[in-house]
Chain A
Amino acid sequence: MKIIKQFAIICGLCLLGEGVASLLPFVFPGSVMAMLLTLLFLALRWLKLRNIEETGNFLLSNMAFFFVPSATGIIERLEDIRGSVLILVFISILSTIITMIVTYYTVALVTAWMKRGRRE
């Protein structure tokens, strides 16, 4: 009963997200709009965490599972990437590492600047 009620609220949020996203003048994913609305409603206390928590946590902790069918669809696109698999792997490794290192030093730098600013 509780799970169904929570699921109804969550699906309602998703529907609302898709509605709001469709009003925007550019293409914006409805699910991401639903994420923003969920955050907004929780922060404004229009929605209480306990009204979505159990079902929400179930969806979050099993997120990876929901990808199995769409990712298995790669089987139909193997022709498109046949010659490029190693390149894609190489680019992914390099980009991930560069992004991680740049982000660390950016955050560290901003933190250090803010500390110095506070002291002065």
Chain B
Amino acid sequence: MKEVLTQSDMFGLFLSCLTYAIGLKIKQKCNTPIANPLLIAIALCILVLTVFDIPYADYNQGASGITLLLVPATAMLGISIYKELETLKKNLLPVLVGCMVGSVVSVVCSIVFCRLFGLTDELVATMIPRAATSPIAMEVVENLGGIVPVTVAVVIFSGIVGAVTAPIFIQLFRWKNRVATGVAIGVSSSAAGTSKAIEIGEVEGAMSGLAVGITGLLTVVIGLFF
């Protein structure tokens, strides 16, 4: 009976949708960036697969259909840049320079810290595209020879860190430049950060969304040099 259910293509689809729906529900109930729906869904999927001793391949047989949609979703990031094209034109130089410096700092930090701790080359490669939004980071890390699912987890985790710490820094350092705040959040903490930036303010949200797209692109370019 168990095999019949878990080896069906519907099993992976069902488990993914169910766990993510639960994640969304929890996020709704306690409105904090720590209750990240994706992180909850991953944890629940891993829990179910482990407890019932179901091979990942059985799960992924159906679930891989969901992964296919990452490509068109990434392409649609073009829409979010397009919508902010006017804002970008007004702040072209600060935004571009900010994204460039931020992307480079992120890559350098990742490499230097990984080396300091003596991590393997595979893990260094896994950490390099940390600042890019997950779909782009995945592509980059595949080319660099890192571990794709670990990169995804690291990107989400970094996003949560950014979303939690950004409001603290805004108060602590009295950050008044709203464009700079938005870009800083977008570069350092991609998607989870941007949803926080939208809460902070309209300018911050737009700038953060823009910075996510540009940083993703820059990370691809930086990745070409490794």
Chain A interfacial positions (CB closer than 8 Å to B)? 7, 10-11, 13-14, 17, 26-32, 34-39, 42-43, 49, 52-53, 56-57, 59-60, 62-77, 80-81, 84, 87-108, 110-111, 114
A73 to B76: give the CA distance in the assembly, Å.
25
A17 to B77: give the CA distance in the assembly, Å.
13
A42 contact set on B, CB distance < 8 A: 78-79, 82
**Interface residue SS majority, chain A:** helix
Whether the Cβ atoms of B153 and A107 lie closer than 8 Å is: no
Interface status of B8 (Cβ within 8 A of chain A): no
A65 to B134: give the CA distance in the assembly, Å.
12
Expressed in whole angstroms, the minimum distance between the Cβ of A49 and any Cβ of chain B is 7
Known contacts A32-B216, A77-B147, A94-B113; A72/B177 CB under 8 A:
no
A35 to B77: give the CA distance in the assembly, Å.
6
Whether the Cβ atoms of B74 and A35 lie closer than 8 Å is: yes
Whether the Cβ atoms of A38 and B98 lie closer than 8 Å is: no
Whether the Cβ atoms of A96 and B70 lie closer than 8 Å is: no
Expressed in whole angstroms, the minimum distance between the Cβ of B121 and any Cβ of chain A is 12
Interface footprint category on B: 35 or more
Q: Which single residue of chain B is at the shortest CB-CB distance from A72?
A: B45
Whether the Cβ atoms of B169 and A69 lie closer than 8 Å is: no
Whether the Cβ atoms of A72 and B158 lie closer than 8 Å is: no
Whether the Cβ atoms of B180 and A107 lie closer than 8 Å is: yes
Whether the Cβ atoms of B150 and A68 lie closer than 8 Å is: no
A103 to B150: give the CA distance in the assembly, Å.
25
Whether the Cβ atoms of B75 and A14 lie closer than 8 Å is: yes
Whether the Cβ atoms of A106 and B98 lie closer than 8 Å is: yes
A95 contact set on B, CB distance < 8 A: 106, 109-110, 113, 127, 130, 158
B149 contact set on A, CB distance < 8 A: 70-74, 76-77
A66 to B74: give the CA distance in the assembly, Å.
11
Whether the Cβ atoms of B75 and A69 lie closer than 8 Å is: no
Expressed in whole angstroms, the minimum distance between the Cβ of B11 and any Cβ of chain A is 12
